């Protein structure tokens, strides 16, 4: 993070300048210290601890005795060889990709819609934010009722509209369960995309559109050649943050399906929880799965930083 | 904090202090044998978070606090946070003095080494059902005893069964036929829970065990037959496919709303069912594979255990636990929470006085502890079995394939 701001040091002219520079450096470090300490304590330490745990055979006994034999990469090997791993990894990929694509698409459409001024627009926009404000567990529980096969309102609505012949087994069929949790997650994630993209749209100067309209650009051309390129930095932020948020989604899936039926919605996060707390008490393996997720998120985080730096350079 | 922001040198010092504290965290075990005078107050942990259960448990603690003169500070956490909290507290050496935990989790808690054997305090296992003593035993020593136990039975809607002219079923064949006949007008004959967790396993075990299967061989022919039977109930439409997502509270909801004519559920629901206007229900033991063979249900209920928190506190905790396990308290608790007393004689009397509880009392005699066979390995096997149940119910795998996979998973 600091690397972004830093510039290569210029060659100092004299010893006086060097001394001043050193003092400068120290002051800069002192200013950075609180942030560094915070990161070290609340991110560095747990992460290091988690990595250490993933290299040990950490059982319930270890909590009390503190003894956890070092096993090297055995936990990673066990996790990768487990048949659930492939399933969870594929589910995580599908869940993340589909969630982000839909959240972004719907969020962008709504942002464009709300960018037009019309009576009640602000009120409606605030209402669309509701899913974001509700606790995830509450949303999840309500969705679980709504998606109930026999008495859920979703199936009742589909039937009333004549869109389905029989009840859709949303949460009880392995084929439907993953789309169902994606649907819930999209519903929860749209407001975030809407808010950020709407902010981005607002930042595009109005006169550009007026000029484009004068040049005879239609709505699609205005979007394609004006809105889209100017929104790109915001888009990158939304997609990257969305990715990091989505890949670690746990509560929604846990409440709606608990990873079932038959592991159909098991993702790396729910599986990590199951390995650690719900059955196996293999904390080392749970930590290993968690670290794999951290690794993936870090890769995308670094990609984000690179894009951010590039767009910064472009702006300069 | 505000001071630290002004002077950059401070946070580093403060941080060093925090780290030092953290490093010192897990102090030497307080342990030690019971000796000296008991402490004047203790903390007790439970997971009776629902309104009715919480009030009933508070009464028990109040009674015992009065009787022993020891103040009891109560901590309550949701069920699924119980074990994580205990493990965390065990690591930080901040365990409560008295823990009431779900009996299959006792193995994990005892395995940490944080518990003390109850025999140290003169608490004996005389007169208890053997099943519950087994559930509280780890590595040959008794670490937990329960003031009450529970099990599953078949609860049926008297009105719906009378309308259909059906007698409460006693065998698998009768259950299947009854469930089929009661399934009509968008309502199902039977509801149970088959969620992918311990709760799902707990509901399946009565079918599994009653048919003669055992947890060390998940893919035995008896096990396959039991799973095929349960799968058949869902496949034929006599039970909703939603059993895959219903926990036991959801199952009770379905029953109360009349969407299911019969349900597999525990005695703790009776208080709620009594409160429903216009609902007439009956209770029979769970149907067995054949007539005349008693069903084997899993033993439920919470066991009290005493962690090593220091001799004086342990002594005090033992006095309170002794009171909780005494006959009058046991009876009061079991009556208010619809549990079965864990002592044979007390249970017999209790069943005679509470006819609705009699089927549960009868079943406790043959009930089995989930951890008796496997001890600490139970959770892993339970998880594998719950997954097999889901695989078979969704048709992903045949019962045989599902159980073979479960057997492999439970061995790895």
Nearest-CB residue to A37 (from B15, B83, B391): B15
Instruction: Enter the DSSP assignment of B37.
Output: P
DSSP designation for B179: H
Rounded Cα–Cα distance for residues B166 and A253 (Å):
40
User: What is the C-alpha separation between B354 and B358, in angstroms, rounded?
Assistant: 7
- Cβ separation B196–A258 shorter than 8 A: yes
- The helix (H) or strand (E) run that includes residue B33 is none
Q: Do B18 and A41 touch (CB under 8 A)?
A: yes
- Nearest residue, CB atoms, A33 vs list B11, B18, B91: B11
Interstrand relation of B115-116 and B141-142 (parallel, antiparallel or unpaired):
unpaired
How high is the pLDDT of residue B17?
Answer: 39
* B259/A280 Cβ within 8 A: no
Kindly calculate the radius of gyration of chain B based on its CA atoms and give it in whole angstroms.
Answer: 23
Task: Closest CB to B390: pick one of A30, A61, A260.
Answer: A260
Cβ neighbors of A12 (< 8 A, separation 6 or more) are A18, A21
Longest dimension (CA), chain A: 85
Per-residue pLDDT tens, chain B, 412 aa: give them. 333 333 333 333 333 433 333 333 333 344 444 456 888 999 999 999 888 889 999 999 999 999 999 999 999 998 888 998 999 999 889 999 999 999 999 999 999 999 999 999 999 999 999 999 999 999 999 999 999 999 999 999 999 999 999 999 999 999 999 999 999 888 999 999 999 989 999 999 999 999 999 999 999 999 999 999 999 999 999 999 999 999 999 999 999 999 999 999 999 888 889 889 899 999 999 999 998 888 999 999 999 999 999 999 999 999 999 999 999 999 999 998 889 999 999 999 999 998 889 999 988 988 999 998 888 889 999 999 999 999 999 999 999 999 999 999 888 7
Give the list of residues 6+ apart from residue B283 with CB closer than 8 angstroms, or none.
Answer: B153, B154, B155, B156, B270, B356, B359, B360
Q: Which residues of A touch B5 (CB under 8 A)?
A: 34
Helix locations, B166-286, DSSP H:
172-182, 198-210, 221-235, 248-256, 270-274
- All residues of chain B having their beta carbon less than 8 Å from the beta carbon of residue A140 are none
Residue A5 predicted with pLDDT over 60: no
Spell out which residues of chain A touch residue B383, defining contact as CB-CB under 8 Å.
Answer: 274, 278-280
Token pair in block for residue A102: 């839909």
Strands B302-307 and B98-102: antiparallel
Judge if ipTM > 0.85.
no
The position carrying tokens 């259960």 is B53
Locate the chain A residue with the closest alpha carbon to B81. A277
pLDDT on residue B279? 94
Q: Tens digits of per-residue pLDDT, A173-223?
A: 999 999 999 999 999 999 999 999 999 999 999 899 889 989 988 889 999
Q: What is the pLDDT of residue A17?
A: 78
Structure tokens at B94: 């901040």
- Alpha-carbon distance of B409 to B383, in angstroms, equals 9
B137 membership: H or E segment, kind and range: strand B137-138
Phi-psi region of B337 (alpha: psi -120 to 50; beta: other; left: phi over 0): alpha
Give the H/E segment covering residue B34. Answer: none
Contact present, B144 and B304 (Cβ < 8 Å)? yes
The C-alpha atoms of residue A189 and residue A99 are separated, in whole angstroms, by 8
d(CA A224, CA B34): 79
pLDDT at B350: 93
Q: A181, A265 in Cβ contact below 8 A?
A: yes
CB contact under 8 A, B84 and A144: no
Q: What is the pLDDT of residues B39-88, one digit of tens each?
A: 899 999 999 988 888 999 999 999 999 999 999 999 999 888 899 899 99
Distance from CA of B344 to the nearest CA of A (A): 31
């Amino acid at each position: 993070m600091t690397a972004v701001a830093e510039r290569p040091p210029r060659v100092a002219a004299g010893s006086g300048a060097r001394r001043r520079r050193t003092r400068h450096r120290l002051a800069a470090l002192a200013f950075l210290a609180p942030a560094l300490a915070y990161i070290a304590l609340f991110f560095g330490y747990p992460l290091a601890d988690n990595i250490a745990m993933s290299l040990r055979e950490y059982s319930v006994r270890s909590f009390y005795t503190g003894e956890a034999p070092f096993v090297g990469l055995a936990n990673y090997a066990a996790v990768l060889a487990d048949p659930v791993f492939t399933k969870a990894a594929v589910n995580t990929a599908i869940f993340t990709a589909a969630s982000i694509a839909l959240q972004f698409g719907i969020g962008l459409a709504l942002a464009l819609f709300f960018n037009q001024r019309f009576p009640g627009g602000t009120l409606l926009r605030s209402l669309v934010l509701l899913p974001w404000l509700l606790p995830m567990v509450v949303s999840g529980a309500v969705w679980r009722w709504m998606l109930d096969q026999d008495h859920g309102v979703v199936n009742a609505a589909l039937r009333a509209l004549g869109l389905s012949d029989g009840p859709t087994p949303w949460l009880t069929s392995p084929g439907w369960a993953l789309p169902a949790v994606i649907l819930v997650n999209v519903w929860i994630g749209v407001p975030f995309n809407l808010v950020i993209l709407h902010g981005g749209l607002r930042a595009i100067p109005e006169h550009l559109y007026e000029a484009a309209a004068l040049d005879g650009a239609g709505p699609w051309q205005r979007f394609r050649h004006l809105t889209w390129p100017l929104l790109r930095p915001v888009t990158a932020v939304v997609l990257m943050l969305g990715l990091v948020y989505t890949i670690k989604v746990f509560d929604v899936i846990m409440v709606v399906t608990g990873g079932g039926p038959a592991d159909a919605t098991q993702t790396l996060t729910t599986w990590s929880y199951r390995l650690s707390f719900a059955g196996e008490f293999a904390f080392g393996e749970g930590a290993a799965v968690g670290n794999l997720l951290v690794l993936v998120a870090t890769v995308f985080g670094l990609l984000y930083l690179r894009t951010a730096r590039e767009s910064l350079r472009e702006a300069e | 904090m505000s001071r630290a922001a002004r002077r950059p040198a401070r946070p580093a010092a403060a941080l060093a202090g925090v780290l030092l504290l953290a490093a010192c965290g897990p102090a030497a075990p307080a342990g030690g044998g019971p000796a000296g005078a008991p402490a004047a107050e203790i903390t007790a942990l439970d997971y009776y978070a629902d309104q009715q259960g919480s009030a009933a448990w508070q009464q028990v603690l109040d009674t015992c606090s009065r009787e022993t003169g020891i103040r009891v500070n109560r901590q309550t956490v949701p069920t699924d946070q119980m074990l994580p909290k205990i493990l965390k507290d065990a690591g930080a050496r901040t365990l409560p003095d008295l823990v009431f935990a779900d009996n299959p989790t006792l193995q994990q808690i005892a395995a940490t080494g944080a518990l003390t054997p109850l025999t140290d305090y003169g608490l004996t296992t005389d007169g208890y059902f053997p099943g519950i003593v087994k559930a509280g035993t780890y590595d040959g020593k008794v670490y937990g005893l329960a003031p009450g136990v529970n099990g599953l039975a078949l609860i049926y809607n008297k009105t719906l069964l009378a309308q259909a002219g059906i007698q409460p079923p006693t065998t698998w064949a009768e259950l299947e036929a009854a469930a089929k006949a009661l399934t009509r007008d968008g309502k199902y004959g039977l509801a149970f829970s088959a969620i992918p967790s311990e709760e799902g396993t707990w509901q399946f075990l009565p079918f599994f065990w009653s048919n003669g299967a055992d947890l060390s061989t998940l893919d035995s022919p008896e096990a396959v037959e039991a799973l095929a039977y349960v799968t058949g109930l869902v496949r034929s439409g006599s039970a909703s496919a939603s059993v895959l997502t219903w926990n036991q509270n959801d199952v009770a909801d379905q029953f109360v709303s009349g969407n299911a004519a019969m349900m597999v559920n525990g005695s703790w629901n009776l208080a709620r069912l009594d409160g429903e206007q216009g609902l007439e229900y009956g209770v029979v033991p769970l149907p067995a594979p054949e007539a005349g063979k008693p069903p084997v249900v899993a033993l439920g209920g919470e066991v009290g255990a005493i962690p090593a928190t220091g001799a004086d506190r342990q002594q005090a905790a033992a006095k309170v636990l002794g009171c909780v396990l005494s006959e009058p308290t046991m009876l009061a608790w079991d009556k208010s929470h619809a549990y079965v007393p864990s002592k044979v004689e007390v249970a017999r009397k209790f069943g005679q006085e509470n006819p609705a509880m009699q089927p549960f009392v009868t079943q406790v005699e043959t009930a089995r502890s989930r951890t008796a066979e496997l001890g600490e390995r139970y959770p892993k096997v339970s998880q594998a079995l719950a997954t097999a149940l889901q695989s078979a119910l969704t048709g992903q795998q045949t019962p045989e394939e599902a159980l073979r996979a479960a057997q492999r998973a439970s061995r790895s």
